[in-house]
Each structure stands twice: as structure tokens, then as C-alpha cells.
């Protein structure tokens, strides 16, 4: 076990959670709760993988993966924004729909080897001792984009005019409407943005981080972890990024624990009985619950973070939210 | 002649409309699913005939469908009672596995001597299945009531946790000669099947339908009664419809969150017990093709009505049975997703009247 390796792997897997969680933050900030992240990610992973296989271009794959996630999210948009359906149920059905579509269209993709996204080094920064190789070497371009994504998203939401409109629509749509902000339009836009980012996160998995198509195992619940991360991060992109990387590191640490024979001076129990690894596999899910308990307590205490119109449909002239 | 749409809010909903939109959604979903199936290179009509044959073709296959419907009925009811209170228990899958585990330990430890009367063994398995399912529902309920933790995510995470927990025991302590399953249970732990009575009634030979289906029907009657006549049912409905009013009325919301989640978990746990005691007769890795998730759609399609859940479960059981044979494998999943989507979209018809008017008759 080596810190640099764990940090390196943690950043790579954390990037997936980062994009998905930031996408969901955009969507939820506009007042739309989209629980279909897992479905959009899986569809994005399949579409990206399949496109790269047929066209030979992994970047075209990334683009198609994004659009696939975005297109799926629009179904959620129509149903919740125009038809005012329950956002929770719609999000759940989006998960079913995305998973089903990905499995049907992804039939036969397992074991294929399309061209993948390449890894790059950043000169100079990469030669910083210990952290340089972990943060600035052998990562896909999208990992480096991820570093910029969180501060940019934070700045956009909190400091720009469109970001202010976004927050207004999520906090008090009737007030935003009365000053001429297009509530429906903005909600559609950010539902689509969230979908694209979830699709992108999926394509990053299948084309870079853990390449391949393993049906539902490709995402294995990471979409749901991203949804949990949004609450834990209190709808703040910077905290979501940090949480994503930490989570990624933990996943890697869990994997690495299975290797050594002696652990902290004791015989590694996993070395004696490999079946104990089932307890390791549960840890990320257990940690998600624990993180959520702390996150929820913080949200409840401060009464802040959560957009007040989250999950509520907006109908002009009805309920004065 | 141009037309325009005029949308107005419905004052009252005709009684036939909810049923019509539900059926319409399913039909439309099958058409869309068929089109997608055609696009990926399948033969929708052949598949449809196959579906019919695999589900209702003869008594033996229909009994097989009913066997698959049994856990769906229990889980559908488990979901419905939680959804009535707007509690999003999507962990029925995990509660099902927890129930299967609870029932298994009765036989595998064993908790009760296996030469005890069948009634005792089965009764204890039911009890343990329900207790373990209830625990798996209690945890997210408690976290929601106490710390306002989102139950959607906790119930889902608990699914992954219990599946790995079961796997540990299946692969390790209880592994049958290294296979990923426990040894077959003693016959005393098997739920009676119709086929067991083939000697007396010839028609029952090979019919796999087991007693578990009666648990489902009993649960439907119980939950119907709770909502129709009990104070508890009234409280659940009020909290679901209007939590503010419930709070003013002095209803203890936290207590009800925990109770409903535990009750919902117990029903899903009973489904797990009935599945291993009535069908697989041992604990093994894959005991569910996603019953916990299909149950969500079943509950929603049945508009949370416990009796409507029974026929809807049979339909979805048919999808599962046919889905095992149909390629590609994700098709039944896809169909379920489209059905749920159509259904929630069609709800708009229950809230609004849509008139199609020629423009020259414009009134508004």
C-alpha cells in the first residue's frame, strides 16, 4: 500500500462521482430532484463504450455518452415540469428506463475492446514529490477537467447572473417568475445539464477509469452514491468534489487491503480467509449511510443548503411558493 | 382547420378514469417496448405470443407464474403501505434478502430441533423472516425519524450491504461442499406445495404453487383492513396527504415513520422467507430477479390498492417468467421502466381536462 497510488486511484474514481454529483447539484439547485442518476450514468457508459467501438473515436464516445444521459434526463424534465408528476417516482422510473435501455442496447458489448481515452502527464507540476505523480501524472484529460469543474461550478452558481437565476428558480420560483425569469426553461436547461454530466460520468467509467462493459456492474450503484454525495456536500460543488475524491480513495484503500499478508503488525484476516472481503465490499455503502447521517444533521442544524422549492412542481398562479 | 388545446383543471375525477389510464399506460408501454425490440432486431409478435404461452399457456406454466407473483404481491403491498405515507422505501429488495437470511438461520443453526412439527418450524421461519425484514426496514426508518436522513438512499445502500452479508455466509460458513449455496433444507422447512398432494388429486402433479401465495392474499386483506377501518391507517394516509395537518392533529409522525418502515420491511421479509421455504429450499446467491424493484412498479400501477396489487403482480410475474427466455436480457427491465413512465405521465389526465378545439370555436 502506497499513499501515492491510493491518491492516484482515488482521484480517478472520484472524478466519476464528481461529475455526476455536480450535475445533480445543478439540477437540484433549479428545484428538480432527479433520482435517475444511476440510469443516466449506465446509459452514458453504454453509449460511450459502444460509440467508441463502432467509430474508433473515444472522444466521440464521450460526446454521445453525454447526449444519451442528457436525452434521458429530458424525459424526466417533461414528466416533472410539464406534467407535474411526482419527482421521486419519475426519477425511479428513469433509473429503470436507463438501466433497461443500457442492457438492451448494450447486448454483446461485454468483452469488446474499443479505443479508450488516453492518459497524459502535466509537465513541471507532475514532478512535485509524492502528490505530483498522484495528481498530475497518468490521468485522462477529463480528470484534469474535473479539477477545474468544481471551482467553476461554484463560481457560476454563486457569483454569476445566470447562476443567480438558477438559485432563484430553486428557492422561490414564483418570485423568479414575477421578475421575468423563465422558470420552466431554466428547469429544463439544468435537468439537461445534470443528465449530460451523469452521462459523462458513465462514459468516463467505461472508457477510462475501469474500462469495459459489465452490464449493471459497470456503475454498481455509483449513481446513487453521487445522489447521497449531493446531500452530504450540502449542494456545494467544492464539497462534492472533495467528497468524491475521498470516497474514491476509500474504494481503492479497500481494494488494497486484500493484498498484504501482515497488516499493522497483525496477520491480515483477509489473507487467512478471502471470504471476509464481502465485508470490505459493503464498506462504501455503509460509509455512504454514515456520511449521510452527518450531512443530514448539518443540513437540519443550519436549515441551509437545500433549495427550498426542491421536489415541488411550479404552476403559475398556484401555491405561492 | 387549425386546432388548439385547451387545458383546464379537473374538479372531480370520474371513477373509470384511473383504471383506464393504468391500462392505457401498460398497452402503450408494450407498444413502445415492441418498437424498441423491433429496432434491436427482435420479432415483437413472436415474443408476444411467447409471452402469452409462457404465462398462461397451461396450468403448469400459470402455476409457475403465480409462484413468481407471490413475492411480488407481498413486496408490492410492503411498498404500497410505505408509499401511502410518502415514505420511499426502495429497499424491499434488501428486506427480502434479510427475511431470507432470518428464515434460513432457523434451519441452519438450527434454532429449533428439525424433528419438531412442521407447523412450528414454518411458523418460526415466518416469524424470523419478518423480524429480520423489519429490522432492515427499521434502520432507515429510525435514521429518517431521528436524523432526517433521506430514506431513499439508506434503503438502497442497505440492499447492497445485506446482499454481501448473505454472500459471506453462503460462500463461507454454510457453503455446501464449496458451492455458492447452502445445503438443501430438511423437508420439514418446505412450505407445502400443491404438487405434494398429487396422490389425492391427479391434477396437482407438477404444480409448484405453494402456500406463500396465501400469505400474499392475507397481507392484502390485512392492509386493506388497516386502511379502511383502523386509526393507524387513517394516520398513515393523513401524514401522506398533508403532513402539516397531521402534525396539528397531534399525530406522532416520527413514531409512524419507524412503524411503517418496520411493517413494510416485515412484509418484504416474509416474501424472502416464502421464496426460500417455498421455492429454492436453501439460501443461495441469486434468490431474486429484482422483486424488490419490480414491487415498486407493481404498487404504483395498482394505485397503492392492496387488492389491485394481486392481478398486477401476476402480469409482472409473467414479464419475469418470459424475460428469462427472451433476449436481450434487459428487455423486461426496459418494459417495466416504460410502464412506470407512461403511468406517471398519464396522471396528468387525472388532474387536467384536455379539450381539443377548432380555433374558430375559441372561447377562452
ipTM confidence score: 0.87
Looking at the 3D structure of chain B, how many domains does it have?
2
What grid cell was written down for B280? Answer: 429454492
* Torsion angle defined by CA atoms of residues B31, B34, B36 and B40, in that order, rounded to the nearest 10 degrees: -170
**How many angstroms separate the Cα of B14 from the Cα of each of A42, B22, B136, B228?**
40, 14, 40, 21
Least confident of A159-163, A258-262, B193-197: A258-262
In a domain? residue B80: yes
- Contacts of B57-65 with C-beta under 8 Å, sequence gap 24+, read B59/B203, B59/B207, B60/B206, B60/B207, B61/B321, B63/B194, B63/B207, B63/B208, B63/B209, B64/B208, B64/B321, B65/B314, B65/B317, B65/B318, B65/B321
How far does B271 lie from chain A, in Å, by closest CA? Answer: 22
Q: Does A304 touch chain B (CB under 8 A)?
A: no
Tell me the three cell numbers of residue A188: 429544463
Alpha carbons A303 and A299: distance in angstroms, whole number: 5
Most A CBs within 10 A among B86, B149, B180, hence the mutation to make, goes to B149
pLDDT higher than 50, residue B363: no
* pLDDT score at A89: 86
- Whether the pLDDT of residue A320 is over 60: the answer is no
Of A59, A64, A58, A24, the residue nearest A44 (C-alpha): A64
Is the residue at B97 inside a domain?
yes
Q: Is residue B311 part of a domain?
A: no
Whether residue B271 is found in the same domain as residue B348:
no
Domain identity same for B174 and B238: yes
Cβ-based contacts of B337 with chain A (< 8 Å): 39, 93-101
> Does B263 share its domain with B364?
no
Q: Are B192 and B119 in contact (CB under 8 A)?
A: no
Give, to the nearest 10 degrees, the angle between helix A87-105 and helix B16-39: 20
Tell me the β-bridge partners of B356: B5
Q: Is residue B264 part of a domain?
A: yes
The verdict on A45 touching B (C-beta cutoff 8 Å) is no
Distance of CA A261 to the CA centre of its chain: 35
Confidence of residue B1 (pLDDT cuts 50, 70, 90): low
How far apart are the CA of B229 and the nearest CA of chain A, in angstroms?
28
Confidence at residue A124, expressed as pLDDT on a 0 to 100 scale? 77
User: What share of chain A has pLDDT > 90, as a percent?
Assistant: 50
Taking each helix axis from N to C end, the angle separating B118-147 and B253-275, rounded to the nearest 10 degrees, works out to 150
Question: Has residue B314 been placed in a domain?
Answer: no
- pLDDT score recorded for residue B2: 66
Residue pair B158/B94 in contact by the 8 Å Cβ criterion: yes
- Min distance A131 CA to chain B CA atoms (Å): 32
So what's the pLDDT on residue B255?
95
Residue B70 CA to residue B268 CA, distance in Å, equals 11
Q: How far apart are CA B276 and CA B279, in angstroms?
A: 6
What gap in Å lies between CA A256 and CA A245, rounded to an integer? 16
Look up residue B195 and give its DSSP letter: G
Q: Å from B140 to nearest chain A CA? A: 9
Q: Which of A82, A99, A278 lies nearest to residue B333, judging by beta carbons?
A: A99
Residue in the block written with cell 463560481: A155
Asked if A104 and B148 come within 8 Å (Cβ–Cβ), the reply is no
pLDDT at residue B79, rounded to an integer:
96
Residue B167 is predicted with a pLDDT of: 92
Residue-level pLDDT at A321 = 40
What pLDDT is attached to residue B42?
Answer: 76
Instruction: Looking at the structure, tell me whether residues B36 and B171 fall in a common domain.
Output: no
Q: What is the mean pLDDT of chain B?
A: 88
Using the Cβ of A298 and the Cβ atoms of chain B, whether some distance falls under 8 Å is answered with: no
pLDDT tens per residue, range B144-202: 999 989 898 899 899 999 999 999 999 988 888 878 888 899 888 899 888 787 777 77
Count of CB pairs separated by less than 8 Å, A with B:
149
pLDDT at A122: 79
Q: Quick one: pLDDT at residue B326?
A: 67
Q: Do B8 and B62 sit in the same domain of this protein?
A: no
Q: Both B12 and B59 in a single domain?
A: no
Residues B35, B61 share a domain: no
* pLDDT computed for residue B57 by the predictor: 78
For residue A238, is pLDDT > 50?
A: yes
Share of chain A above pLDDT 70, in %: 97
Kindly state whether residues B245 and B338 are assigned to the same domain: no
What's the CA gap between B168 and B172, in Å, rounded? 6
What pLDDT band is residue A243 in, cutting at 50, 70 and 90?
Answer: very high
Assess if residue B258 is contained within a domain: yes
Same domain, B268 and B287: yes
What pLDDT shows up at residue B328?
65
At A280 the pLDDT is: 86
The residue among B18, B103, B76 whose CA lies nearest residue B274 is B103
Nearest to A97 among B150, B171, B337 (CB): B337
Q: Please spell the DSSP secondary structure of B63-124, one letter per residue.
A: HHHHHHHHHHHHHHHHHHHHHHTT-----HHHHHHHHHHHHHHHHHTTSS-TTS-HHHHHHH
A38 contacts in chain B (CB < 8 Å): none
Model confidence pLDDT, tens digit, residues A165-204:
999 999 889 889 888 889 999 999 999 999 999 999 999 9
B291 belongs to a structural domain: yes
Q: Is residue B237 assigned to a domain?
A: yes
Task: Please tell me whether residues B162 and B295 are part of one structural domain.
Answer: yes
For A129, B71, B317, the CA distances from B289, given in Å and listed in that order, are 50, 11, 10
User: Do B207 and B353 belong together in one domain?
Assistant: no
Is A71 an interface residue toward B (CB < 8 Å)? no
Q: Give the domain extent around B27.
A: 1-40+328-364
Give B308→chain A minimum CA distance, Å: 19
Are both B301 and B333 inside the same structural domain? no
Amino acid at each position: 500500500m502506497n499513499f501515492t497510488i491510493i491518491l492516484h486511484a482515488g482521484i480517478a474514481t472520484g472524478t466519476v462521482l464528481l461529475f455526476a454529483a455536480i450535475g445533480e447539484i445543478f439540477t437540484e439547485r433549479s428545484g428538480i430532484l432527479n433520482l435517475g442518476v444511476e440510469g443516466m450514468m449506465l446509459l452514458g457508459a453504454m453509449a460511450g463504450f459502444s460509440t467508441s467501438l463502432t467509430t474508433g473515436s473515444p472522444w466521440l464516445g464521450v460526446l454521445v455518452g453525454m447526449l444519451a444521459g442528457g436525452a434521458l434526463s429530458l424525459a424526466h424534465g417533461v414528466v416533472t415540469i410539464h406534467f407535474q408528476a411526482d419527482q421521486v417516482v419519475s426519477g425511479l422510473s428513469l433509473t429503470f428506463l436507463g438501466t433497461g435501455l443500457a442492457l438492451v442496447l448494450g447486448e454483446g458489448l461485454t468483452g469488446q475492446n474499443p479505443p479508450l481515452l488516453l492518459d497524459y502527464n502535466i509537465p513541471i507540476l507532475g514532478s512535485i514529490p509524492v502528490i505530483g505523480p498522484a495528481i498530475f501524472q497518468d490521468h485522462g484529460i477529463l480528470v484534469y477537467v474535473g479539477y477545474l469543474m468544481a471551482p467553476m461550478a461554484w463560481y457560476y452558481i454563486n457569483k454569476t447572473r445566470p447562476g443567480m437565476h438558477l438559485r432563484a428558480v430553486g428557492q422561490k420560483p414564483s418570485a423568479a417568475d414575477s421578475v421575468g425569469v423563465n422558470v420552466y426553461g431554466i428547469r429544463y436547461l439544468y435537468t439537461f445539464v445534470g443528465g449530460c454530466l451523469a452521462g459523462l460520468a458513465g462514459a468516463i467509467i467505461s472508457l477510462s477509469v475501469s474500462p469495459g462493459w459489465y452490464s449493471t456492474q459497470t456503475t454498481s450503484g455509483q449513481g446513487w452514491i453521487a445522489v447521497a454525495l449531493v446531500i452530504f456536500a450540502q449542494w456545494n460543488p467544492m464539497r462534492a468534489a472533495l467528497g468524491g475524491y475521498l470516497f474514491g480513495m476509500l474504494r481503492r484503500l479497500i481494494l488494497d487491503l486484500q493484498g498484504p499478508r501482515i497488516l499493522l503488525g497483525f496477520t491480515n484476516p483477509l489473507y487467512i480467509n478471502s471470504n471476509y472481503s464481502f465485508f470490505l465490499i459493503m464498506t462504501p455503502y455503509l460509509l455512504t449511510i454514515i456520511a449521510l447521517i452527518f450531512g443530514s444533521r448539518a443540513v437540519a442544524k443550519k436549515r441551509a443548503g437545500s433549495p427550498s422549492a426542491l421536489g415541488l412542481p411550479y404552476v403559475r398562479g398556484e401555491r405561492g411558493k | 382547420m387549425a386546432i388548439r388545446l385547451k387545458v383546464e383543471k379537473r374538479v372531480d375525477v370520474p371513477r373509470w378514469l384511473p383504471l383506464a389510464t393504468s391500462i392505457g399506460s401498460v398497452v402503450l408501454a408494450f407498444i413502445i417496448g415492441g418498437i424498441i425490440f423491433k429496432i434491436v432486431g427482435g420479432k415483437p409478435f413472436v415474443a408476444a405470443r411467447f409471452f402469452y404461452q409462457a404465462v398462461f399457456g397451461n396450468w403448469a406454466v400459470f402455476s409457475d407464474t403465480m409462484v413468481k407473483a407471490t413475492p411480488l404481491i407481498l413486496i408490492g403491498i410492503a411498498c404500497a403501505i410505505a408509499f401511502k405515507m410518502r415514505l420511499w422505501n426502495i429497499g424491499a429488495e434488501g428486506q427480502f434478502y434479510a427475511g431470507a437470511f432470518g428464515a434460513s438461520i432457523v434451519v441452519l443453526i438450527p434454532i429449533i430441533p428439525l424433528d419438531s412439527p412442521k407447523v412450528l418450524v414454518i411458523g418460526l421461519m415466518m416469524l424470523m423472516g419478518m423480524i429480520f425484514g423489519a429490522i432492515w426496514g427499521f434502520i432507515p426508518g429510525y435514521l429518517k425519524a431521528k436524523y432526517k436522513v433521506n430514506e431513499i438512499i439508506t434503503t438502497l445502500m442497505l440492499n447492497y450491504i445485506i446482499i454481501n452479508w448473505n454472500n459471506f455466509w453462503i460462500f463461507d460458513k454454510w457453503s455446501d461442499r464449496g458451492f455458492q449455496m447452502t445445503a438443501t433444507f430438511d423437508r420439514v422447512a418446505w412450505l407445502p406445495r400443491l404438487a405434494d398432494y398429487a396422490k389425492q388429486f391427479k391434477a396437482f402433479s407438477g404444480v409448484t404453487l405453494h402456500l406463500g401465495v396465501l400469505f400474499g392474499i392475507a397481507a392484502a386483506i390485512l392492509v386493506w383492513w388497516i386502511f379502511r377501518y383502523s386509526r393507524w391507517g387513517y394516520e398513515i394516509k393523513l401524514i401522506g396527504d398533508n403532513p402539516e395537518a397531521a402534525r396539528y392533529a397531534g399525530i406522532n409522525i416520527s413514531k409512524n415513520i419507524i412503524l411503517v418502515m418496520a411493517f413494510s420491511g416485515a412484509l418484504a421479509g416474509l416474501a424472502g422467507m416464502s421464496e426460500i421455504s417455498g421455492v429454492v429450499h436453501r439460501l443461495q446467491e441469486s434468490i431474486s430477479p429484482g422483486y424488490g424493484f419490480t414491487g415498486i412498479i407493481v404498487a404504483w400501477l395498482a394505485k397503492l390498492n392492496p387488492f389491485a396489487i394481486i392481478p398486477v403482480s401476476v402480469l409482472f410475474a409473467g414479464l419475469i417468467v418470459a424475460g428469462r427466455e427472451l433476449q436481450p436480457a434487459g428487455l423486461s427491465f426496459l418494459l417495466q421502466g416504460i410502464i412506470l413512465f407512461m403511468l406517471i405521465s398519464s396522471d396528468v389526465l387525472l388532474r387536467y381536462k384536455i379539450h381539443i378545439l377548432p380555433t374558430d370555436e375559441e372561447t377562452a
